[in-house]
Chains A and B, each alone.
Chain A
């Protein structure tokens, strides 16, 4: 144990502690403020109470917006997963004419056309279709934005599944429907689970599209309502916001815990690298 070693060791520990604090300290507010009798933006030990929780549950739009988020999210996630699974399977296994050009185009689209770059036409499109304030329309728009990337991630999964499974099933006389339902679907389950989680987390946090397309406060999801809570009367409504933030965060935190426990949070293969 040379002095140099000790200094390096201490330096290392301090560095890790600072980084940990940098990431963790902002989250402390979410643990204290919801249960503080005098909630503010300052960091302090709370005077514990549940009155904010009651106030939030009584808020006219709080729970409704969470339901809206859930509806938006479930529709977008279901559509994305189902459509992406079908497309990924077909693109992986069948030589459709023009497939390679299509794949290249999808890969480009997934990063080039962002909600920010396309917000004006999206708004005008929905306005002219009469779909402003339509939760279903907004969910489809969100799904459309997620589909190219979802197809890509899923196609990687399907590509990795050996074709011999399907071939054997065919040899034993299974119909295409049976092959898909009884052979392909069970094998592709980890990929489908990945897309379910990925698209749910994305849609749950999406602010821009619902903010543009849902103007009626009774139809807005939690992401958009949080902004209204701030603007009401000019200053933030701090009895409601902290509890509401906590409620709104729970689904993604639970999903994160489940995923990291079951699969570990790692990049697999060459998906992203």
Chain B
């Protein structure tokens, strides 16, 4: 008969050893996540720089960096571009395409479904620098695929339409997650509801709106929050446009990098990172509240 202690700790490793098991992971998380996060907040209130006198002896300047950021047209520009990027490629692009694919692929032949899913997933798992080159090739002015398709050879898409290019690119890159999530969500919709909708003569759109959506509302929210968070923090735009031309595609992660490592304004960049951290925290708290509500 297992004792009461064994019910709580079936292998009998004991609390002390259990803490020992957790410690190495916590140590790494502490050093490389918790400490940097807190330090970002601190560096954000100093005038720390990569080089020069403020590199050796940074001073605390209070909220100066934050007020500078809020007045900085580059920061405003990058907030706007980040919002555009998240809205266009995550909230609308990946979400809609992921759901549409999950819905359309439900009843097609297994072979075709596997093929489509395979390419969507491949786009997701190929290394970032490789997909950047794939899209250089699509968007190139020298016989790039898009120019040929639209009969506009010689158009440098990444220069003339940098944000639109990034949005299409990121939709391509990240739809896999939404597809996987919605596929598993749709599998849980009771078939009888779909059957009823069909018998009532509902169109495809009516079925989705009235019979499917109420069941997957939670998934839609979860998915939207997660992909928005990831997209807002994505550094891949740097590989495609590096923020150019002339700051036209400088989303927040790229702006932070350029301010920190190219201009050497570590304090200022940290202040902007802190704002990004706070934004992430808000989204994550909403997400966890939703999870808890459903559990």
Question: A: which residues have CB within 8 A of B?
Answer: 12, 15-16, 19-20, 22-30, 33, 40-44, 79, 83-84, 86-87, 89-91, 93-97, 102, 104, 106-109, 111-125, 140-141, 143-145, 147-148, 151, 163-164, 166-167, 169-171, 176, 179-180, 183-184, 201, 204-205, 207-208, 212, 222-224, 226-227, 236, 241-242, 245, 248-249, 252-253, 256, 260, 265-267, 272-273
The 8 Å CB contact of B2, one of A86, A97, A170, A207, is: A170
Determine whether the beta carbon of B119 is less than 8 Å from that of A90: no
Interface residue stretch chosen among B129-137, B192-200, B205-213: B129-137
Determine whether the beta carbon of A140 is less than 8 Å from that of B284: no
Question: Which B residues touch A273, using CB under 8 A?
Answer: 181, 184-185, 219, 222
Question: Which B residues touch A265, using CB under 8 A?
Answer: 117, 121, 180
Complex: chain B residue closest to A22, CB-CB: B172
Question: Which B residues touch A266, using CB under 8 A?
Answer: 180, 183-184
Determine whether the beta carbon of B29 is less than 8 Å from that of A147: yes
Q: How far is the CA of A30 from the CA of B134 in the complex (A)?
A: 7
Question: Which A residues touch B260, using CB under 8 A?
Answer: 119-120, 123
Determine whether the beta carbon of A148 is less than 8 Å from that of B129: no
Question: Which A residues touch B36, using CB under 8 A?
Answer: 113, 118, 121-122, 125
9 residue pairs, one from A and one from B, having the closest CB atoms: A42-B143, A144-B32, A41-B140, A166-B10, A90-B21, A94-B18, A205-B127, A121-B36, A121-B39
**In the complex, B163 has a CB within 8 A of chain A:** no
Question: Which B residues touch A26, using CB under 8 A?
Answer: 123, 131, 134-135, 137-138, 145, 172
Question: Which B residues touch A29, using CB under 8 A?
Answer: 133-134, 137-138
Q: How far is the CA of A40 from the CA of B7 in the complex (A)?
A: 65
Determine whether the beta carbon of A184 is less than 8 Å from that of B288: no
**In the complex, B56 has a CB within 8 A of chain A:** no
Question: Which A residues touch B125, using CB under 8 A?
Answer: 201, 205, 252-253, 256
Question: Which B residues touch A79, using CB under 8 A?
Answer: 28
The 8 Å CB contact of A94, one of B9, B39, B40, B129, is: B9
**In the complex, B15 has a CB within 8 A of chain A:** yes
Determine whether the beta carbon of A20 is less than 8 Å from that of B119: yes
Determine whether the beta carbon of A119 is less than 8 Å from that of B256: yes
The 8 Å CB contact of B116, one of A23, A27, A224, is: A23
Determine whether the beta carbon of B116 is less than 8 Å from that of A41: no
Given A111-B284, A123-B260: A20 and B115 within 8 A (CB)?
yes
Interface residue stretch chosen among B68-76, B84-92, B275-283: B275-283
Determine whether the beta carbon of B233 is less than 8 Å from that of A114: yes
Q: How far is the CA of A222 from the CA of B129 in the complex (A)?
A: 9
Complex: chain B residue closest to A162, CB-CB: B10
Question: Which A residues touch B54, using CB under 8 A?
Answer: none
Q: How far is the CA of A260 from the CA of B122 in the complex (A)?
A: 11
The 8 Å CB contact of A12, one of B24, B26, B104, B131, is: B104
Question: Which A residues touch B276, using CB under 8 A?
Answer: 116-117
The 8 Å CB contact of A248, one of B19, B127, B134, B270, is: B127
Query: Besides A143-B28, A176-B14, A265-B121, 4 other CB < 8 A contacts?
Result: A27-B123, A86-B25, A117-B276, A252-B125
Question: Which A residues touch B118, using CB under 8 A?
Answer: 260
Determine whether the beta carbon of B11 is less than 8 Å from that of A20: no
Question: Which B residues touch A94, using CB under 8 A?
Answer: 8-9, 13-15, 18
Determine whether the beta carbon of B235 is less than 8 Å from that of A115: yes
